[in-house]
């Protein structure tokens, strides 16, 4: 099954990539798969990160979201740590280190991987963190009580190699926490894509937010940052194949700032607020119509430490 070609490298807009869905597992993937060298070049400019910040969900730059990252750190800390005891933590895709710094302040021993040299330097100068460029660059022999990988797995060219390595890095009883976007290959977002095209004039003031959410206007393409998109079944199959057992899997509905912040209530904003509000209501009822996937997994045979 093929989707319209919507991905293209900035230097080659006339050579878009196809998006296809695997008939066996349901994963959405870019075809042909770009080379590792070409993908790595996309992330070396710090402007990439500010321009595509959290897939268009937040307004303002990275540093302006410190409070969000600290709130997320406190939530995950409560989930992953035992009272008075915190262990060794790895974040894969650590960006400029805001979340990792918040976890360090809570008492974790933190380590981070970030492919972008510009963001590793930002983490060093702004947060005092020393990040490494790859999993292979981590100190040999380290094992982690928790590994956090948010909005990153969809960028990884070889997810099997990555997940296998993450499973090997978990300490006994350790937890792997994943967050991946669910945009293109879900019923809700396919409906939104149709609305985006049909109501292009009405929604024009919100072009930036919609493009960030991968809802593209006529003729638009995006650089191939997301080369995979996982369904619940395909993500579970990937983890299971590499010896991981899924303990929790849920949908997290995006709430783009541009639609939910205070401001003029024009028809386009009201329509998008109603749509995303309906998605939230469906998620509360257990209907997985769309939104990001949140997963907690352990090595098969392990159990989480008692709270």
Q: For 93-123, what is each residue's pLDDT tens digit?
A: 999 999 999 999 999 999 999 998 988 999 9
Query: How many angstroms separate the CA atoms of 68 and 113, rounded?
Result: 20
pLDDT in tens, 161-192: 999 999 999 999 999 999 998 777 777 777 77
Quick one: which H or E segment has residue 137? none
Peptide bond into 32 cis (omega under 30): yes
Residue 94 forms part of a structural domain = yes
What predicted TM-score, i.e. pTM, was given to this entire model? 0.86
What is the gyration radius of the CA atoms in the chain, in angstroms? 19
Residue 281 forms part of a structural domain = yes
For β-strands 144-150 and 88-92, DSSP reports them as parallel
Is the pLDDT assigned to residue 147 strictly greater than 90?
yes
- Band the pLDDT of 279: cuts 50, 70, 90: confident
Q: Which domain does 255 fall in, by range? A: 2-299
First to last CA, the chain: 45
Residue 306 forms part of a structural domain = no
Query: How many angstroms separate the CA atoms of 7 and 27, rounded?
Result: 16
Residue 307 forms part of a structural domain = no
Residue 36 forms part of a structural domain = yes
Query: How many angstroms separate the CA atoms of 154 and 230, rounded?
Result: 8
Q: How many domains does the chain have?
A: 1
- CATH number, residue 284: 3.40.50.150
**CA-wise closest residue to 10 among 57, 67, 48, 37:** 48
Q: Write down the mean pLDDT value for the chain.
A: 83
Residue 192 forms part of a structural domain = yes
pLDDT in tens, 208-255: 667 766 777 667 777 888 899 998 999 999 999 999 999 999 887 777
Is the pLDDT assigned to residue 54 strictly greater than 60?
no
């Amino acid at each position: 099954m093929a989707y319209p070609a919507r991905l293209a490298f900035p230097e080659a807009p006339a050579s878009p990539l196809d998006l296809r869905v695997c008939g066996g597992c349901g994963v959405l993937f870019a075809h042909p798969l770009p080379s590792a060298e070409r993908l790595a070049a996309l992330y070396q400019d710090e402007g990439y990160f500010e321009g595509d910040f959290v897939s268009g969900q937040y307004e303002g730059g990275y540093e302006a979201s410190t409070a969000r990252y600290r709130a997320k750190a406190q939530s995950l800390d409560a989930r992953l740590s035992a009272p008075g005891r915190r262990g060794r933590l790895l974040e894969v895709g650590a960006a400029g280190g805001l979340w990792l710094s918040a976890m360090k302040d809570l008492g974790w021993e933190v380590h981070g991987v970030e492919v972008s040299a510009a963001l590793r330097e930002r983490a060093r100068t702004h947060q005092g963190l020393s990040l490494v460029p790859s999993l292979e660059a981590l100190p040999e022999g380290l094992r982690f009580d928790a590994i956090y990988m948010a909005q990153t797995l969809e960028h990884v060219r070889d997810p099997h190699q990555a997940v296998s390595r993450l499973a090997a890095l978990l300490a006994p009883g350790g937890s792997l926490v994943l967050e991946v976007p669910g945009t293109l290959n879900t019923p809700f977002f396919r409906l939104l894509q149709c609305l985006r095209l049909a109501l292009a004039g009405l929604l024009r003031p919100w072009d930036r937010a919609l493009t960030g959410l991968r809802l593209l206007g006529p003729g638009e393409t995006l650089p191939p940052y997301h080369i995979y998109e996982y369904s619940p079944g395909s993500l579970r199959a990937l983890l299971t194949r590499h010896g991981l057992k899924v303990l929790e899997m849920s949908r997290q509905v995006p709430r783009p700032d541009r639609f939910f912040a205070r401001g003029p209530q024009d028809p386009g904003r009201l329509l998008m607020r109603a749509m995303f509000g309906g998605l939230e209501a469906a998620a509360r009822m257990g209907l997985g119509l769309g939104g990001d996937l949140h997963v907690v997994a352990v090595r098969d045979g392990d159990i989480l430490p008692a709270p």
